[in-house]
Amino acid sequence: MKKLLLILLISSFAFAKIDFATPQPSFENPRLWLIRVNESEKTKVNHILNAINNVLKGYPEEALHVEIIFYANGIRAARKDYNKDILKRIKSLMVYDNIRFVVCKNTMDTMGWKKKDFISGVDYVQIGIAEAIEKVASGWIDVSPY
């Protein structure tokens, strides 16, 4: 009996729904989520990717837009020579039309790196922090999961 109760309790959490704020997220009113990645430590990058995948499960694709900005030491996570398993996870998220990966060109210039050093599919902005400031100013929610 205890096992059955435990299974029911766990399954109720597994299929729990989000109580969306008003207005509900939709195609016309998507949630706008900004994530800043300024560290390349593998555990932290994996945690961020886990959080993105978890959030994607709770929202219809058309009701959520995500922008991940890599700047400072965090741009290492978007380089071709970074951890191959993590790069596979990043590339698997690139198939979504509602997710944009952005790399800071100022950090690239400081490190002497070129676009050819980075995985394909990322976009570039001159100043990663300025991109974050402008996104927040235009209504994006700045929540970094780690």
- pLDDT computed for residue 17 by the predictor: 72
pLDDT lower than 70: segments of the chain = 1-16
Q: Is the pTM of this model over 0.75?
A: yes
68 beta partners = 35, 101
Contacts of 112 (CB under 8 A, 6+ apart): none
Query: Per the structure block, which two tokens stand in for 14?
Result: 């597994």
- pLDDT computed for residue 1 by the predictor: 54
Return the domain boundaries, the chain. Answer: 33-142
Query: Cα separation of 107 and 138, whole Å?
Result: 24
Superfamily of domain 33-142: DsrEFH-like (3.40.1260.10)
- pLDDT computed for residue 11 by the predictor: 42
CA–CA distances in Å: residue 8 to residues 12, 16, 19, 54, 57: 6, 12, 21, 21, 21
